[in-house]
Amino acid sequence: MTVKIETKQQAEDFLAQYDYFLFDCDGVLWLGDHLLPKVTETLNFLKASGKKLIFVTNNSTKSREAYLKKFAKFGLTNVSKNEIFGSAYASAIYIKKILKLSTNKKIFVVGEHGIEQELHELGYSTIGGTDPELTNMPADFNALEAPFIKNVDPAVSLVLAGLDTRINYYKLAAALQYLHDPAVTFLATNIDSTFPNKGKVLPGAGSIIQSIAYASGRTPRSCGKPNQEMMEAIKAEHGFDPARAVMVGDRLNTDMKFGRDGGLGTLLVLTGIEPEARVVDLQGTEEEVKYYASKLGDLYELVVENRE
Ligand SMILES: O=C(O)[C@H](O)[C@H](O)COP(=O)(O)O
Ligand SMILES: [Mg+2]
């Protein structure tokens, strides 16, 4: 049975069950650069109540360092780097610890600074990504003369693709040159089809990646939520009992599946991707969420502000 948290008692009963709170970011804490209502108050209240907070985002455009700055901008200055897990970091760890890719090899990036910074931190060289040659595509672009199309770097043995808000034909074409070689590994940071921004739903990493997958006829492995290797990395770092942990998210096929498959409780908030009707319809199915609420800030308003 799914419970909608709407009263003080329901909010207090929910909070009493968990010690660890894993928070998705886009659609839960903020929409782009717009902080959602009472988020800072809620997170500070949970910390003051002795709860442990961990932030788990599929957004690969920022590294953990960059997210620390974003949190601080919103007044959340008591977050440490090891409490942030982004899909760029999850992908870099997968390449390093699971694929054990040599740092002598290069990685072609479709994506933004977050991916490049996390890979560089682990000693990898990248090409593509935010390189101005790719981003500042000339009006008279000629693919056959373009450097990234003409010169395929033999040191590249992996393509990592994620959200790129400045995607263009040149980037897709350059990535494809590498994926023609079946020996080159194809990885994705995440599968999200859309990206919730203030009042708008925009194309997500998954939609960009699908374009490259379709052109290359290849399906990449995705490293972000709901992949349980990301959950294992978080459990290895923080060692929590899944029964005393809850995943708070806005997307059913990433956040809620990630929490459910990891043995955690689940709270879906309606400030991101999913409509309330979809959550209600899932009751009694295996995709049922345990709790849902209109927004994360309801927890603070109900418990601390005694909102009726
Ligand atoms: O397109 C994307 O990459 C995602 O929509 C987005 O960044 C998801 O971030 P999250 O909701 O996991 O914080
Ligand atoms: Mg989200």
The answer to whether ipTM exceeds 0.90 is yes
pLDDT in tens, 28-66: 999 999 999 999 999 999 999 999 999 999 999 999 999
For domain 3-58+226-303, which architecture applies? 3-Layer(aba) Sandwich (3.40)
Distance 178 CA to ligand 2 centre (A): 31
Q: Is residue 13 annotated as a catalytic residue, yes or no?
A: no
Cis peptide before 226 (omega within 30 of 0): yes
- Nearest CA to 84 among 37, 29, 45, 161? 29
pTM of the model: 0.96
Joined together, the tokens standing for residue 222 give 């995705």
Q: Taken in order 273, 276, 277, 283, is the CA torsion positive or negative?
A: positive
CA dihedral 43→45→51→57, nearest 10 degrees, is 0
Ordered by start, the domain boundaries in the chain are 3-58+226-303, 90-222
Ligand nearest to the CA of 250: 2
24 marked ligand binding residue = yes
**Tokens 């003369």 sit at which residue?**
145
Q: Confirm whether 3-58+226-303 and 90-222 share one CATH topology.
A: yes
Q: Which atom of ligand 1 is nearest to the CA of 27?
A: 11
Out of 3.40.50.20, 3.40.50.1000, 3.30.70.360, 3.40.309.10, the CATH code matching 90-222 is 3.40.50.1000
> Residue 110 C-alpha to ligand 1 middle, in angstroms?
16
Query: Contact at 8 Å (CB) between 105 and 157?
Result: yes
Q: Which of 195, 210, 268 to mutate to test the pocket of ligand 1 (most atoms within 8 A of CB)?
A: 195
pLDDT tens figures, 134-192:
998 888 999 999 999 999 999 999 999 999 999 999 999 999 999 999 999 999 999 99
Q: Note whether 33 and 199 are within 8 A (CB).
A: no
Strands 245-249 and 20-23, sheet pairing: parallel
